[in-house]
């Protein structure tokens, strides 16, 4: 089951107040993201860039992995691992408009229940012994 997460919740993707430049990473740390979940970014006069770790740390990207500026972006988390997001507007990333998302590895499904078919029962030692004796008696 996939979930959609609203980045920034009711405020959206905006520059955090000067007192909270870790706003988005704090929000991300409170959520559990799985493969195929989506992030919804709502913003005005801004953009969302998906970047490398190095670009995230520098708050700069001349060649982002993905770039969005339509004001209403839904981004699919398509693999486990880390995703790095920054604002593309000058100065916004440095003021805390950036976020790291960790997507969890998929959980392994439980093993199938043991089979109870006739072939597995026929392979039991008792059945083999009885069939051997029956064969000897009627030869």
Could you state, in order of their start, the residue ranges of all structural domains in the chain?
4-104
Q: What is the pLDDT of residues 31-89, one digit of tens each?
A: 999 999 999 999 999 999 999 999 999 999 899 999 999 999 999 999 999 999 999 99
Q: Looking at residue 5, what is its pLDDT?
A: 98
Do the beta carbons of residue 80 and residue 100 sit within 8 Å? no
Q: Looking at residue 129, what is its pLDDT?
A: 62
Q: Looking at residue 128, what is its pLDDT?
A: 65
When the pLDDT of each residue in the chain is averaged and rounded to a whole number, the result is: 88
For residues 124 and 76, the model is more confident at 76
| Backbone angle region of 29, left / alpha / beta, with phi > 0 → left and psi within -120 to 50 → alpha | alpha
In the chain, what percentage of residues exceed pLDDT 90?
68
Pull the structure tokens for residue 14: 């905006």
Give the pLDDT band (50/70/90) at residue 103: very high
Do the beta carbons of residue 46 and residue 88 sit within 8 Å? yes
| Number of helical H runs and strand E runs in the chain | 4, 8
Is the per-residue pLDDT at 122 higher than 90?
no
Architecture of the domain made up of 4-104: Sandwich (2.60)
- State the Cα–Cα distance between residues 50 and 116, nearest whole angstrom: 51
Do the beta carbons of residue 58 and residue 65 sit within 8 Å? no
Burial class (CB in 10 A: 0-12, 13-18, 19+), 105: exposed
Q: Looking at residue 57, what is its pLDDT?
A: 97
């Amino acid at each position: 089951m996939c979930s959609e997460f609203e980045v920034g919740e009711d405020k959206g993707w905006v520059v955090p107040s000067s007192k909270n430049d870790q706003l988005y990473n704090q929000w991300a740390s409170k959520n559990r993201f799985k493969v195929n979940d989506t992030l919804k970014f709502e913003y005005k006069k801004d953009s969302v860039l998906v970047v490398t770790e190095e670009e995230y740390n520098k708050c700069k990207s001349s060649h982002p992995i993905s770039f969005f500026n339509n004001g209403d972006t839904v981004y699919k988390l398509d693999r486990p691992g880390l995703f790095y997001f920054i604002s593309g507007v000058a100065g916004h990333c440095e003021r805390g408009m950036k976020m790291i998302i960790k997507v969890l590895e998929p959980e392994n499904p439980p093993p199938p229940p043991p089979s109870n078919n006739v072939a597995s029962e026929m392979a039991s030692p008792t059945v083999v012994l009885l069939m051997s004796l029956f064969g000897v008696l009627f030869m």
